[in-house]
A and B are shown apart, each in its own frame.
Chain A
């Protein structure tokens, strides 16, 4: 019954294009031909456009808005203000963090470029003319851009709307500009360890405000069918199902009447997780006008108003013995959340997974406190290519381990080896209660040290230092925590953070799989098909992967926090296994043997002991529609909703070598060696691409990205003139490597990799820059390490001239 081909086992495996093969990305065929379909490519009949009047002030009272002249502009159809949204109760919207956010400024503006009115018109030109014609009378108010000043006793109250509330969703407040305090760990134990410690260090470490800055900005097309009463919302959504639920909850439309479609997305990096006023206003617009309304923001809008990342003012302390063995860590964070608490974290975690701050090290006790604060800046606080607040945590511990090494006079590789969680300790429970699934940190670090000839680099550095040259070697041995997450402790708006996969096998043996995640460039159409190919014995080329349409895809929580492979990838494997179980029944019927007499081999079930008697998955698929055992229903489909038992913990060891020009402050990255362990590797080429992208963004963050504000709250550098997006010219050459430590609880042992390089990369760059000055007594330098900042350090040391 087998097919006539004479392929060997290896050839059959190769034909599948399954797990471990470096097949080319299926989605690239359309992308490189310019045939992608992004939100701004969507053109519906009768479509109109909308855009915002934005506030030039960071803090002001809106005394009046005159829309008459704007409404008289030819082509302008409507102008919405907060007063127009009030009757619908849509002038404010709930945030993912329990707070509310103004959709259109209601009596006050709280940050520069905040949305004040929404102009809808026949084309973008009419809208733009209309925006200019709206007259807003502002009365400016004192501005707060420094979170420390925001907590001063006499500080102006920013959020008058919640002035009387002692809780805005994430804990008790102690000041009108205070949002929450999040306190974890054993303070007494940590304090005790500090009081008896031989060595302690303390460092103020600021992780600047940055922005994920996807190449495609945010946008949507809202289209109400007034006859059917159905709303279709196309948008740049990393989590389309969550958007559908949110729209249903806030707009009061039944969820089955809402269809959310995320078409191709040009990068997300966390920026496209949340809900923005544009989505609400376009939706109101289409309901009011009965015509589709498109809103697509510009670059300045994207950088200055949609979700930023970091802005964490951290104070870190380590206590250690004289051998550099860490006894305790204490951290305090002043977290600048901007004008509304709209960061995207699982509901129960006001600082995300920041308590992964013990990193790769076996630290007996820890205490962390995070205070969230309002300022006159745009809201947000997303994970920019990292799991929730993990980059902040990892940057802090990796910097502090270096500071400690310096203090006790230990080599930075040696201090890491002395403090690592050892391979024998896995599964390892940290003192802050995370259960690390698997890891082998010393092997990873030693492999890197050998590959780069670490000893040789240290000798070269010593020589250069004698000559007055500045060379830095940076290490980062990070642990990520990804795959949010187990529903017992992870939810978004009360919905557990599971994910899903539905598979249909067609009679001729090809298949379609739909998942609850949404690729923004990660290559899901390629890699999910590989998981399914290996699990099902169907070539990955014969499997279509679809995501992003809530009418067809099973409910899922979307793609961010490196959760697609750990959660939806697991759902794919589990759904495939359900199909395989049914296939085994059909095969037994076809081959007239008992189910237990069969064994699986690559793409077929074989009768044990009779290798020539077998049924391929292709044959079984056809039989599923015409030749079934009695009592078995036809078809070959399955769906799985996967609630992960635990997070996964990818890790890596990175080494960076830099040379510093002390006269210009320019830092040249001479070498970057990145070893990643993401467990089972699904597609090495896709992994390498992810690592290259993550390292490039880490390089951008460490070396140049920042959004700053002047004292009146004017945002600085919010365009590509200043905001640092490195080109191929600035980007260093990446050397990549790997070890494989599978996750014991994941169906295929995979852990997720997209964000690891950003988590580990930032600290590796920063550590390298600081190390270039370490012999001169420097223990920390603020990011980003732009030429002028580095030169200021040179100048302070008297070596800048």
Chain B
């Protein structure tokens, strides 16, 4: 449990960080909260020659309104997400999900940017971002671009981010007022990754579902945007038949692996249970 030798860098600007990333290529790794990278380094599953610490990049901190979106800096901690009045008001699913990540100590260090950029299918925020149709702001030597969360994840730990790009912010469209939401996570204990989890955001109008978005955590190589599951609810009263169709659609795309949390069959089954419960709670919270 002792990491190998590495050079430590502490850039004070985003440009400097990107320059360091460009210079060191696959020998370099950026570190934010460190909750994924440090354990990997201690097990020597990761042995970066250069560690680029982002903690002095104050410009990457903060939660601010930006037109019809909210922009959250990549170095914003999960605790800051939990504590944000703006998010609690405009997009409360983030607080609900953040509170299910690890424990308070971890949330004070762990960052939103690290959580979404790492590509670990066990992380909770990627599915929430897919559910909200958020975009990730990536900055590299050639400039800045935005990639939708729904297109960002390629395989476990593989994402659309290029090696010399830094994920600087998350931009999320503010969901309509009165939307219903829920993040349901089945886990064995505090601090555990999900056995299965589902994020749901929906809007109702005149007793009928106007829009619905569903995404799944830790039941595949990547977070899964369950488009068909959401579509199964749109235009319905979110009655039993519609929910059952959504559940089946979500289970259809789930491809969990067997682990200590349970065999594939169980994890697929509880994916359905989480979707059902999240939909039910989101519906109860939605304003007609």
Residues in chain A within 8 A of chain B (CB atoms): 124-125, 127-129, 132, 298-300, 663-666, 704, 716-717, 721-722, 724-727, 729-730, 786-788, 791-792, 800-801
Contacts and interface: CB of A to CB of B under 8 A. Distances in A.
Contacts of B190: 727, 729-730
Given A128-B2, A786-B262, 15 more contacts: A125-B2, A128-B3, A132-B4, A298-B1, A663-B270, A664-B186, A704-B188, A716-B260, A729-B190, A730-B189, A786-B188, A787-B195, A788-B195, A792-B266, A800-B269
Given A128-B2, A132-B44, A664-B270, A788 B262 contact: yes
B261 interface: yes
A665 B103 CA distance: 24
B228 to A, nearest CB: 21
B273 interface: yes
B contact patch SS? loop
Interface in B235-288: 259-263, 266-267, 269-270, 273
A792 B273 CA distance: 15
A663 B269 CA distance: 9
Contacts of A786: 188, 262
7 nearest CB pairs, A to B: A788-B262, A128-B2, A298-B1, A788-B266, A722-B260, A729-B190, A727-B190
Nearest to B122: A721
Contacts of A717: 260
B191 interface: yes
B189 A788 contact: no
Given A124-B2, A788-B261, A664 B189 contact: no
Contacts of B188: 704, 724, 786-787
Interface of B: 1-5, 44, 103, 186, 188-192, 195, 259-263, 266-267, 269-270, 273
19 contacts: A124-B2, A125-B5, A128-B2, A128-B3, A129-B5, A132-B4, A663-B270, A663-B273, A664-B186, A664-B270, A666-B186, A721-B192, A727-B103, A727-B191, A730-B190, A787-B186, A788-B262, A791-B269, A791-B270
Contacts of A125: 2, 5
A250 B127 CA distance: 58
Nearest to A299: B1
Given A663-B273, A664-B270, A729-B190, A127 B2 contact: yes
Contacts of A298: 1
Contacts of A730: 189-190
Nearest to A722: B260
A800 B273 CA distance: 11
A746 B21 CA distance: 71
A129 B266 contact: no
B189 A729 contact: yes
Contacts of B192: 721
A716 B262 CA distance: 13
A729 B273 CA distance: 22
A799 to B, nearest CB: 13
Contacts of B189: 704, 724-727, 729-730
A564 B273 CA distance: 49
A664 to B, nearest CB: 6
Contacts of A800: 269
A664 B185 CA distance: 11
Nearest to B44: A132
Nearest to A127: B2
A801 B251 CA distance: 13
Nearest to A726: B189
A124 B2 CA distance: 7
Contacts of A729: 189-190
Contacts of A791: 262, 266, 269-270
Contacts of B191: 727
Contacts of A787: 186, 188, 195, 262, 266, 270
Contacts of A788: 195, 261-263, 266-267
B279 to A, nearest CB: 14
Contacts of A665: 266
Contacts of B1: 298-300
A724 B5 CA distance: 32
A667 B44 CA distance: 37
B118 to A, nearest CB: 16
Nearest to B266: A788
Nearest to B259: A722
Nearest to B196: A664
A716 B260 CA distance: 8
Contacts of B263: 788
Contacts of B259: 722
A261 to B, nearest CB: 25
Contacts of B3: 128
A300 B189 CA distance: 19
Contacts of A725: 189
B253 to A, nearest CB: 19
Contact of B273 (A299, A664, A727): A664
Interface centre among B44, B103, B192, B270 (most CB of A within 10 A): B270
Contacts of B261: 788
A665 B273 CA distance: 11
A717 B258 CA distance: 13
A507 to B, nearest CB: 50
Nearest to A791: B266
A304 to B, nearest CB: 13
A788 B195 CA distance: 10
A693 B246 CA distance: 44
A704 B195 CA distance: 14
A124 B4 CA distance: 11
Nearest to A125: B2
A666 B186 CA distance: 9
From A127, A721, A727, A788, residue with most partner B Cβ within 10 Å = A788
A144 to B, nearest CB: 22
Contacts of B267: 788
A665 B5 CA distance: 45
A801 B3 CA distance: 46
B266 to A, nearest CB: 4
A72 to B, nearest CB: 15
Contacts of A128: 2-4, 44
Contacts of A801: 269
Nearest to B261: A788
Contacts of B44: 128, 132
Nearest to B186: A664
Nearest to B47: A132
Nearest to B267: A788
A663 B5 CA distance: 48
B71 to A, nearest CB: 33
Nearest to A123: B2
B2 to A, nearest CB: 4
Contacts of A727: 103, 189-191
A786 B186 CA distance: 12
A298 B190 CA distance: 22
A69 B188 CA distance: 43
B132 to A, nearest CB: 25
A704 B262 CA distance: 12
A786 B5 CA distance: 40
Contacts of B5: 125, 129
Nearest to B270: A664
